[in-house]
């Protein structure tokens, strides 16, 4: 009588438990902000906001059409559930919805990995799928182990938590479920059996449906990321490996023929579509970045010295890796990389009989890495999100090795059931706790943009983009501190911004000018710290020389601190840049007035009025000069003209992060 397996060993109980654990590890990601191009790519992309514009996405499907569609769904969900903060100027959708979507896609991959590995184990064991027999006859725990370890692996956080990395996650969904369907089709058509022609109608219907499902997954993958091109290739390789374990070479070739034809149609169709869309197999974005052979040598070092150590959790993660571009085959990184990669190839060959999951896993790893880590040059030599799909193979190889080690240990101890059932599971459990802790820690780091970029700066101190993003985050912090009137913290954050200002792209530098101007005015008007404000404005002039407010406020600071020489020199520089500036001429006249040279000052103020009309500040000081001379009647006339031309509200609203504050203009 067949005994039902205990509930804790039932693999179908494992799946929801695994999904819950993975979701818990990614809960901090729901609070993560935008990074890199997240906001402009996922939110400000006008194609995503109306159904009519979405036609443009499908018209150019090859350029991440499925990814853009997923962002559009997130955008409209935010709108539907009232989670958007919409004003006439900005649209800030709900970040948790975007991150929740990415987590759900990741969970789909975890479930898909479980199904795929389970199918692989079933086909490797040669056991027919019969209800109730499978759980007793097949060691199915590796499927749960691979799904759990893959779902919790911290190197996947860049693809999941960094929203712009979603392309890798969506492409992997098509890849995993496409391969699963591919293997189901092969099984149902009996290509792994002694007599493949003896199939029922039901098997043929399921087989054809599986073929169609694989094709749909491939097409959807095309709209996600180009790595999908290796999916049919991987399917053929796995199928060839499975058939070759039972039949001679001639049989292998005959049975692979229809699958090769199917895979060929998919790959050739993809390449033709890409050539029509981009004008070549390699698009304009990749062309001319670096020679193919330089890219190949560099990628040998990247795989062996960057990716593999981090997949083994031996080195810290980094969103902007700093890796060398290699031009010589004799470079130490290349030599070491060839040794490491050669060792993995040797391991894959040696494991083919005793540990086939190791062979399939390593084969998956190298094939899936090929589009991003071979001869095709990309802007970034290394990016952790590129390992999201290959990591399935890496974890599969690890679990296969662990399964083989457990079986070997069981044979040595002559206790197959006890050893096989305990040692690997304990190891997987300990690793799951470790990987889960690293993933939670990584996601928590993402929630603090400044600490995240400071950590990245420590890993890649020479990357210009890291410095630029740090400058932006410190700028955002300075604005937030200004809103809360925390001037000292705002000044410290702004100094960090200015220290890295050279790394901000020139085209967006003007967007950063308002914050230091507002801080300087607050230092002048609320704290009366004119010297400190002057130092700030002196820095600002170097970065934003076109901003007249900076010149004007700096001149006022010099006058307040009695540095008349600096004020005169500043006025001369200002007039040289802008000869028609009324503010620069006022600064010159103010210097004369502050020196006590009333006659020359009066002449200067009168010239300003004759040239520019009723300037309130010039009229006010002319009234003071007349009053000092005892000419009360003239002083009153000037004063009346000044009051008539002066605005009723001398306060000027200054927008800081969407909050209006009134800053009194220093006169």
User: What angle, rounded to 10 degrees, do the helices at 51-59 and 65-80 form?
Assistant: 170
Binned at pLDDT 50, 70 and 90, residue 532 comes out as confident
Share of the chain above pLDDT 70, in %: 84
Asked if pLDDT for residue 635 goes beyond 60, the answer is yes
Instruction: Name the DSSP letter for residue 45.
Output: -
Binned at pLDDT 50, 70 and 90, residue 6 comes out as low
For the segment 68-79, the average pLDDT, to the nearest whole number, is 83
pLDDT, residue 309, reads: 95
Q: Sketch the domain layout of the chain as residue ranges.
A: 7-445, 463-664
The residues with which 652 forms a beta bridge, in sequence order, are 663
- pLDDT tens by residue, 228-274: 889 999 999 999 998 888 888 888 888 888 888 888 888 888 777 77
- pLDDT tens by residue, 213-222: 999 999 888 8
- pLDDT tens by residue, 396-410: 999 999 888 877 777
CA distance 588 to 402: 81
Q: To 10 degrees, the CA torsion angle through 387, 392, 395, 397?
A: -110
User: What angle, rounded to 10 degrees, do the helices at 230-244 and 356-369 form?
Assistant: 160
For the segment 292-319, the average pLDDT, to the nearest whole number, is 93
Mention every residue, 6+ apart, whose C-beta is less than 8 A from residue 452: 35, 319, 445, 446
For 177, the token pair is: 């479920």
Instruction: Name the DSSP letter for residue 94.
Output: -
Q: Which helix (H) or strand (E) holds 605?
A: helix 598-612
For the segment 322-328, the average pLDDT, to the nearest whole number, is 92
Higher pLDDT: 22 or 478? It is 22
Asked if pLDDT for residue 129 goes beyond 80, the answer is no
Higher pLDDT: 7 or 516? It is 516
3-state SS class at 664: strand
Asked if pLDDT for residue 659 goes beyond 70, the answer is no
3-state SS class at 663: strand
463-664 carries CATH number 1.25.40.10: yes
Beta carbons of 387 and 155 less than 8 angstroms apart:
yes
pLDDT, residue 654, reads: 39
| Residues belonging to the chain | 667
From residue 310, how far is each of 323, 324, 449 by CA, in Å?
14, 17, 22
Beta carbons of 423 and 409 less than 8 angstroms apart:
yes
pLDDT, residue 413, reads: 65
């Amino acid at each position: 009588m067949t005994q039902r397996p205990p509930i804790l060993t039932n693999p179908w109980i494992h799946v929801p438990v695994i999904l819950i654990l993975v979701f818990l590890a990614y809960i901090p990601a729901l609070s993560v902000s935008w990074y890199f191009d997240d906001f402009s790519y996922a939110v400000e992309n006008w194609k995503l906001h109306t159904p009519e514009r979405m036609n443009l996405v499908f018209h150019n499907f090859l350029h991440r059409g499925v990814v853009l569609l997923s962002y559009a769904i997130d955008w409209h969900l935010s709108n539907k559930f009232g989670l958007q903060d919409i004003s006439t100027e900005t649209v800030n959708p709900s970040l948790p919805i975007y991150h929740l979507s990415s987590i759900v896609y990741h969970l789909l991959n975890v479930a898909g990995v479980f199904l795929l590995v389970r199918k692989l184990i079933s086909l490797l064991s040669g056991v027919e799928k019969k209800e109730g027999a499978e759980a007793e006859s097949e060691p199915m725990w590796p499927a749960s182990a691979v799904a759990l370890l893959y779902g919790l692996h911290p190197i996947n956080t860049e693809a999941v938590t960094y929203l712009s990395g979603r392309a890798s996650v969506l492409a992997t969904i098509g890849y995993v479920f496409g391969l699963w369907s591919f293997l189901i089709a092969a099984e149902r058509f009996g290509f792994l059996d002694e007599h493949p022609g003896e199939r029922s109608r039901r098997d043929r219907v399921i087989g054809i449906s599986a073929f169609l499902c694989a094709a749909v997954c491939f097409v959807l993958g095309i709209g996600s990321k180009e790595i999908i091109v290796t999916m049919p290739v991987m399917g053929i390789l796995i199928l060839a490996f499975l058939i070759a374990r039972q039949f001679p070479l001639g049989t292998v070739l005959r049975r692979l023929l229809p699958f090769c034809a199917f895979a060929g149609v998919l790959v050739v169709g993809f390449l033709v579509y890409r050539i029509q869309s981009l004008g070549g197999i390699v698009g304009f974005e990749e062309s001319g970045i670096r020679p193919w052979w330089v890219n190949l040598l560099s990628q040998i070092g990247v795989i062996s010295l960057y990716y593999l150590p981090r997949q083994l959790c031996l080195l810290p993660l980094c969103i902007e890796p700093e890796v060398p571009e290699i031009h010589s085959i004799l470079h130490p990184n290349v030599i070491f990389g060839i040794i490491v990669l050669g060792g993995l190839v040797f391991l894959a060959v040696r494991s083919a009989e005793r540990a086939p999951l190791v062979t399939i896993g390593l084969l998956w790893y190298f094939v899936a890495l090929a589009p991003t880590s071979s001869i095709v040059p990309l802007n970034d030599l290394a990016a952790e999100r590129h390992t999201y799909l290959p990591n399935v193979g890496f974890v599969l190889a690890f679990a296969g090795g662990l399964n083989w080690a457990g079986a070997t240990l069981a044979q040595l101890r002559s206790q197959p059931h006890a050893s096989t059932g305990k040692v690997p599971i304990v190891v997987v459990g300990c690793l799951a706790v470790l990987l889960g802790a690293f993933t939670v820690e990584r996601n928590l780091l993402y929630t603090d943009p400044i600490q995240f970029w400071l950590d990245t700066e420590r890993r890649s101190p020479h990357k210009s983009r890291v410095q630029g993003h740090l400058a932006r985050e410190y700028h955002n912090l300075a604005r937030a501190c200004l809103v809360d009137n925390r001037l000292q913290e705002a000044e410290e954050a702004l100094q960090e911004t200015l220290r890295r200002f050279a790394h901000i792209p020139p085209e967006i530098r003007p967007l950063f000018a308002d914050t230091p101007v507002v801080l300087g005015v607050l230092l002048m008007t609320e704290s009366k710290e004119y010297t400190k404000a002057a130092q700030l404005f002196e820095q600002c002039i170097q970065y934003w020389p076109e901003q007249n407010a900076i010149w004007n406020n700096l001149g006022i600071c010099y006058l307040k601190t009695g540095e008349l020489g600096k004020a005169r020199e500043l006025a001369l520089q200002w007039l040289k840049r802008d000869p028609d500036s009324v503010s620069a001429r006022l600064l010159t006249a103010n210097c004369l007035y502050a020196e006590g040279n009333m006659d020359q000052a009066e002449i200067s103020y009168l010239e300003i009025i004759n040239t520019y009309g009723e300037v309130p500040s010039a009229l006010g000081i002319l009234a003071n000069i007349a009053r000092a001379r005892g000419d009360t009647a003239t002083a009153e006339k000037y004063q009346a003209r000044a009051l008539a031309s002066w605005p009723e509200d001398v306060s000027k609203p200054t927008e800081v992060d969407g909050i209006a504050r009134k800053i009194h203009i220093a006169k």
